[in-house]
């Protein structure tokens, strides 16, 4: 009999399974609806030898040394730094918007005094959220804030979320701040890279333990019964814990309505040319219907004369039709989530973990950190 059941073999479920198997030395059953492990981190090697990320580009970056050390037990790293360019007014310029972007996009007669003003008001190296910069009183800085807002954030955010930047949690646009430096990298974290042989292999290694059993192509409703105060498995006397990493609204049959998620139509293309673009990712805030194009060869080099690109077309999530990639963090949705969370708390053997179950915009490192915490506080 399994003392622990985990729903979802994404990064959250896999790290939790490893903790239970290794530290508690208990048997754990992981069930997964898809026909593969890894959740949205899943990748595979194409015939060309290029590793592609099937659910969108994933770059690992963290300042958590413990998380990096933990994952390093399961993979070698390719020490990769991610560069993103924005296609703005027909020019390619570094993102996040930094001092180089300023000089690339605006004439020197404007860029020079604006840089001076910025550095008088803020420290070199500071990261300023666009919604904060927009509150500037100074006429010139307000001009700059509006310029960046309109050229970089407004249309991209409308495409990505169907909402304007001030209609979603400020933390979303804060992910890509205005950077007062000449560092052109997309992330500034101390540890950055991609698993040498891909995320799927890394997660396979995390799950590789005699105490862990995995059932693919299995949904929670096939093996679990949700009662008023408890989750049952197999028989009425089940006393084990259920760690759920799927959609919380689905778990409770949409009792308080649907929690909206944003999805993506991911269009991969294999091209008969050696390279397609000069950076791994190019964002298109204002042009076309896709948000960005990623060329995987920059992330995982391969000896081939072909290349593979991915265009991301954002769309509404519809149950059964596409994947729920991003929780839409409006105040209203967060209120609905709170109701589900309260309901979950009435189920004494239920533990929530992950992007979907916690309705949070977690990065991979945050997921691992969160799994550590939930393991210590609610599982151990």
Positions that interact with ligand UDP (CB under 6 A): 86, 95, 152-153, 156-157, 160, 172-173, 175-176, 283, 285
Among 31, 105, 243, 352, binds ligand FAD (CB under 6 A): 31
Partner in contact with 311, chosen from ligand UDP, ligand FAD, none, beta carbon below 5 to 8 Å by kind: none
Q: Which does 8 bind (CB under 5 to 8 A by kind): ligand FAD, ligand UDP, none?
A: ligand FAD
Min dist CB 174 to ligand UDP, Å, is 8
Of the candidates 71, 280, 367, 379, which one interacts with ligand FAD according to CB under 6 A?
Answer: 367
Closest CA to 182 of 90, 115, 132: 115
CB of 370 to ligand FAD, least distance (A): 8
In angstroms, give the least distance from the CB of 23 to ligand UDP. 31
Q: According to the binding rule CB under 6 A, does residue 193 interact with ligand FAD?
A: no
Cβ closest to ligand FAD, residue 179 vs residue 367: 367
Comparing CB distances to ligand FAD, the nearer of 149 and 296 is 296
C-beta of 150: minimal distance to ligand UDP in Å?
Answer: 11
175 binds, among ligand UDP, ligand FAD, none (CB under 5 to 8 A by kind): ligand UDP
Q: How is residue 95 written in tokens?
A: 């993102």
Minimum CB distance to ligand UDP smaller for 95 or for 105: 95
Q: Which of 11, 30, 51, 194 binds ligand FAD (CB under 6 A)?
A: 11
In the complex, the residues that contact ligand FAD under the rule CB under 6 A are 7-13, 31-34, 39-41, 55-60, 219-220, 245-247, 250, 325, 354-356, 362-365, 367
């Amino acid at each position: 009999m399994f003392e622990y059941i985990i729903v979802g073999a994404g990064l959250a479920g896999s790290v939790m399974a490893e903790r239970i198997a290794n530290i508690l030395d208990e048997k754990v059953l992981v069930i997964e609806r898809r026909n593969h492990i890894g959740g949205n981190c899943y990748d595979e090697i194409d015939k060309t030898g290029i590793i592609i990320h099937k659910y969108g580009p994933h770059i690992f970056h963290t300042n958590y040394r413990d998380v990096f050390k933990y994952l390093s037990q399961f993979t070698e790293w390719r020490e990769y730094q991610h560069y993103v360019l924005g296609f703005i007014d027909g020019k390619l310029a570094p993102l996040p918007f930094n001092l180089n972007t300023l000089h690339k996009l605006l004439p020197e007669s404007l860029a020079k005094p604006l840089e001076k003003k910025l550095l008088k008001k803020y420290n070199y190296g500071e990261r300023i959220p666009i919604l904060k910069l927009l509150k500037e009183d100074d006429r010139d800085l307000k001009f700059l804030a509006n310029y960046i807002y309109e050229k970089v954030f407004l249309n991209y955010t409308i495409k990505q979320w169907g909402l304007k930047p001030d209609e979603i949690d400020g933390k979303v646009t804060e992910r890509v701040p205005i950077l007062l430096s000449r560092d052109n990298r997309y992330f500034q974290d101390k540890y950055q890279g991609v698993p040498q042989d891909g995320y799927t292999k890394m997660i396979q290694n995390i799950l590789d333990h005699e105490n862990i059993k995995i059932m693919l192509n299995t949904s929670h409703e096939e093996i679990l019964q949700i009662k008023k105060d408890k989750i049952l498995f197999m028989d009425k006397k089940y006393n084990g814990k259920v760690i759920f990493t799927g959609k919380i609204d689905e778990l409770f049959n949409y009792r308080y309505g649907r929690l909206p998620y944003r999805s993506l139509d991911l269009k991969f293309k294999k091209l008969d040319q050696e390279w397609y673009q000069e950076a791994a990712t190019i964002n298109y805030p204002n042009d076309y219907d896709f948000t960005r194009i990623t060329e995987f060869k920059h992330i995982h080099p391969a000896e081939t004369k072909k290349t593979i690109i991915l265009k991301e077309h954002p769309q509404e999530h519809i149950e059964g039709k596409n994947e729920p990639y991003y929780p839409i963090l409006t105040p209203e949705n967060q209120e609905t989530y709170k109701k589900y969370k309260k309901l979950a708390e009435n189920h004494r053997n239920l533990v929530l973990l992950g992007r979907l179950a916690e309705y949070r915009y977690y990065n991979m490192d945050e997921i691992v950190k969160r799994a550590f915490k939930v393991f210590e506080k609610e599982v151990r």
